[in-house]
Amino acid sequence: MRVDSMIRLPEGIVKFEGELSKEEATMVIELGLNYLIRAGAFPAITAALESAQKEEEAAMGYSDEESEYSFPENMDKND
């Protein structure tokens, strides 16, 4: 997969040009989708995952205070 991407950051511009193998492209896509889901970009999916997580934790005997999984405190779901 050919990638030619540029993003602007406060520190300057970051540019990437190159070829990704199938495995690398899959990893990048999975990471991106995971980030978007966890950030709340897909509300229906996020709600379903959170519901499934709570069911799994309840089955394992976890309470809300001792959740095995949690969103990072500094992650804004609206970004």
Domain range for 32: 19-63
Judge whether 5 lies within some domain. Answer: no
Does residue 8 sit within a domain?
no
Establish if 48 belongs to a structural domain.
yes
Higher-pLDDT residue of 48 and 13 is: 13
0.75 surpassed by pTM: no
Structural domain includes residue 43: yes
Q: Taking 90 as the threshold, does the pLDDT of residue 69 lie above it?
A: no
Residue 24 inside a domain? The answer is yes
- What is the total count of domains within the chain? 1
Q: Would 49 be classed as within a structural domain?
A: yes
Does 36 or 13 have the greater pLDDT score? Answer: 13
Let me know if residue 58 belongs to a domain: yes
Backbone angles phi, psi at 55, to 5 degrees: -65, -45
Instruction: Tell whether the model's pLDDT for residue 73 goes beyond 80.
Output: no
| pLDDT single digits (tens) 17-63 | 999 999 999 999 999 988 888 887 777 777 777 888 888 888 887 76
Separation of first and last alpha carbons in the chain: 27
Give the helix ranges, DSSP H, for the chain: 22-38, 43-60
Whether 35 maps to a domain, the answer reads yes
